[in-house]
Amino acid sequence: MSILVVGSIALDTVETPFGNAQDSLGGSALYFSAAASFFAPVNLVGVVGKDFDFSKIEFLKQRGVDFEGLGVEDGETFRWGGRYHKNMNQRDTLFTYLNVFKNFQPVIPDHYRDARLIFLANIDPELQLDVLHQVKGPELTVLDTMNFWISGKREALEELITKVDVLILNDEELYELTNIPNMYDSAHELLQQGPRALVIKKGEHGAVLVTVDQYFLAPAFPLRKVVDPTGAGDSFAGGFLGYLATCKTIDAKHFRKAVIYGTVTASFTVEDFSFNRLREISRKEIEERVETLRNMVVF
Per residue, the 3-state secondary structure of 234-250, as one string, reads: HHHHHHHHHHHHCCCCC
Residue 1 clears pLDDT 80, i.e. is over it: no
**Domain containing residue 215: CATH number:** 3.40.1190.20
Q: What is the mean pLDDT of residues 187-209?
A: 94
**pTM passes above 0.85:** yes
Tell me the Cα Rg of the chain. Answer: 18
The pLDDT of residue 90 is 87
CB 233 within 8 A of CB 268: no
| Nearest residue to 63 via CA among 218, 228, 242 | 242
What residue ranges in the chain does DSSP mark as E strands? 3-6, 10-16, 19-26, 42-49, 65-73, 78-84, 91-97, 117-120, 140-144, 166-170, 197-201, 207-210, 215-218
The pLDDT of residue 298 is 86
The pLDDT of residue 2 is 85
Alpha helices, DSSP H, located in 141-182: 147-152, 154-161, 171-178
Say which residues have a Cβ less than 8 Å from residue 50's Cβ, sequence separation at least 6.
72, 73, 74, 75, 76
Q: What is the mean pLDDT of residues 132-159?
A: 94
Q: What percent of the chain has pLDDT over 90?
A: 93
Q: What is the mean pLDDT of residues 81-85?
A: 96
Residue 203 clears pLDDT 90, i.e. is over it: no
Strand partners, 152: none
CB 191 within 8 A of CB 210: yes
Q: What is the mean pLDDT of residues 128-153?
A: 94
Tens-place pLDDT, residues 5-45: 999 999 999 999 999 999 999 999 999 999 999 999 999 99
The interaxial angle of helices 232-245 and 252-269, nearest 10 deg, is 140
Residue 217 clears pLDDT 80, i.e. is over it: yes
The confidence band for 88, taking pLDDT boundaries of 50, 70 and 90, is: confident
Q: What is the mean pLDDT of residues 104-128?
A: 96
Amino acid making up residue 274: S
Q: What is the mean pLDDT of residues 90-115?
A: 95
**Number of structural domains in the chain:** 1
Q: Which domain holds residue 219?
A: 3-297
What rounded mean pLDDT belongs to the chain?
95
